[in-house]
Structure 1
């Protein structure tokens, strides 16, 4: 079974991530979704509770908006405390070994900006190396990220464009999850 670790600091105002989660809930209500910002707005994460949740699932999806070429701070904090020594790594830290690790995120800017001569210089996947290494270090199966670009209403994208793309994203995510089960 899969779990989605949702890490969006302003989920209620989100268009893209909110649409993705709503569609996943509608299409597969058995997928557990943990909104860690809602659970831990003070960033005081219950490490034991989060570890126990992870132990119950074979596939862990990390759903978040791409912030400054990385994950939101709450997700970084979650990794810092939940993927601790002798749980996720270390001589006895094999508790996540063999589980699937799947980043799923949204990017505000257009894909064209993520090129060598684009505004952001690097391709989107190049910014995911920290996630990939985290998965490998925890002996997890890293699955290439699912993402889509052009989610920023401030950049001129319409709500319809973003929600249509979010629906396509969530459909791809559900298909990936079905294959992994």
Structure 2
């Protein structure tokens, strides 16, 4: 069974992430879903409850929209308080050792904008180094992120295109989760 940490501040308005979550819930994959925006709208994270959830699972999926070249604030806050000293790192902090760390996110802009000559100037994976280092620091197995582009209506994509791409994304995510066991 995998744990999905959902971090979307405007989930009710999402086409991509909402489709991903619905498809995951309707799949035959055994998952526990934790919507941290719903659980902690005041950002007062129940650290022990989150740590217990992490301990129950071999694979942890972080599902979110790509915000300002990173993650939404609540997910960063979640990392700050849940992955604490002597739980996730430190001389006794090996509780997550050997677990799988998988980011699954949506990117509003086109793939062409994430090139050296594009509007964003860097490829998406270059913005993921902090995730990779976090996984290594807490002794988790870093799995290359799964993501797709073109999830913004403002960027000219239609609801149908976004949902269709989200369904393809879920197929890749499910395949990876099955591979990881």
Q: Normalised by the size of structure 1, how large is the TM-score?
A: 0.99
Aligned to 1:149: 149
Deviation digits for residues 74-108 of structure 1 (CA, Å, limit 9, x no counterpart): 00000000000000000000000000000000000
Moved over 6 A (4+): none
Unaligned runs of 5+ in 1: none
Instruction: Say whether residues 1:41 and 2:20 are aligned partners.
Output: no
Match of 2:94 in 1: 94
Q: How far is 1:29 from its partner?
A: 5.6
Question: In 1, are the aligned partners of 2:29 and 2:174 still within 8 Å (CA)?
Answer: no
For residues 55-134 of structure 1, the aligned pairs below 5 Å read 55-134=55-134
CA RMSD of aligned residues (A): 0.6
Deviation at 1:154, TM superposition (A): 1.2
- Contact residue 108 and residue 149 of structure 2 kept, 8 A: yes
Q: Distance in 2 between matches of 1:32 and 1:55?
A: 12
Alignment gaps of 5+ in structure 2: none
SS at match of 1:105: strand
Residue in 1 aligned with 2:23? 23
**Mapping for residues 148-167 of structure 1, pairs under 5 Å:** 148-167=148-167
Q: CA deviation at 1:155?
A: 1.2
Distance 2:145 2:28 in 1: 20
Q: Deviations over 1:16-40 (max 9, x none)?
A: 0000000011113621110000000
Aligned length: 181
1:130-168 Cα distance to aligned partner (Å, 9 max, x none): 111000000000000000000001111000100000000
Cα separation, 1, equivalents of 2:61 and 2:28: 14
The 3-state SS of whatever aligns with 2:98 is coil
